[in-house]
Chains A and B, each alone.
Chain A
């Protein structure tokens, strides 16, 4: 089975799971007492953030593996996961701002969780800019591998920021419990599964595209 076929399977499954998850958000999950309907942003805000962290973790592993093996496949995996991670982090920041406005009365505040998330976005967006700026394949792969490894340091900081420092950002997943009612938790898990399935399909498709682009580019411009 080819990578494109596998990514199509994941895309097909997520095309079924995502509408089902959205249905659960609006028709199964109860309305939160204090925040009301706007709290329903949470059901995709958290899976988007989790998928973004997963992307940066894959980029971190791919960076290490590239520096150890110098194989092109690891650079392709790194490029794919960084790009997906930046897209997902952008959506996390947008949905967070839209959730913050009616609850905190502001789109943005320099809260530790928000600030560290923005720094994470800047680090990996810079990695994408760096990749487009360096033409030499080997140098581009090495620089972005180093950047992905160093940039990943911010991921645990983002995760722990709301626990370590005074933050107004809610902490749902605690070390001893999950602060959600059972029907809310089931909906969140459904959204998480739908988002992760989508992520796998997207990642596989993006990696195969990266490899094909590299192969075509090498054939068209044999000098590089």
Chain B
């Protein structure tokens, strides 16, 4: 019984933290796409 709570707690910590890191990585990826879009827009304006 106590072992179950211990395992769930440690899973919650690492799933929580890695989930947050994955969210940040996704935001970083989205940002890269936005920057790419911006580059394309600037190039089109120059042309």
Q: Which residues of A contact B (CB under 8 A)?
A: 22, 35-38, 40-41, 44-45, 48, 87, 90-91, 94-95, 98-99, 101-102, 198, 202, 205-206, 209, 212-213, 216, 219-220
Contacting residues, chain B, for A36 (C-beta < 8 A) = 2
Interface assignment of B22: CB less than 8 Å from any CB of chain A: no
Residues of B contacting A209 in the complex (Cβ-Cβ under 8 angstroms): 24, 27-28, 31
- Whether B16 lies near A91 (C-beta < 8 A) is yes
Please state if B27 and A41 are interface contacts (CB–CB under 8 Å). no
B39 to chain A, nearest CB (A): 10
Question: Given the complex, which residues of B lie within 8 Å of A220, measured CB to CB?
Answer: 34, 37-38
Looking at chain B's contact residues, the main secondary structure is helix
Q: A209-B24, A216-B35 are in contact. Are A99 and B5 (CB under 8 A)?
A: yes
Q: A91-B13, A213-B27 known; 13 other A-B pairs, CB under 8 Å? A: A38-B2, A40-B6, A41-B10, A44-B10, A44-B13, A87-B16, A90-B16, A91-B16, A95-B9, A98-B8, A102-B2, A216-B35, A216-B38
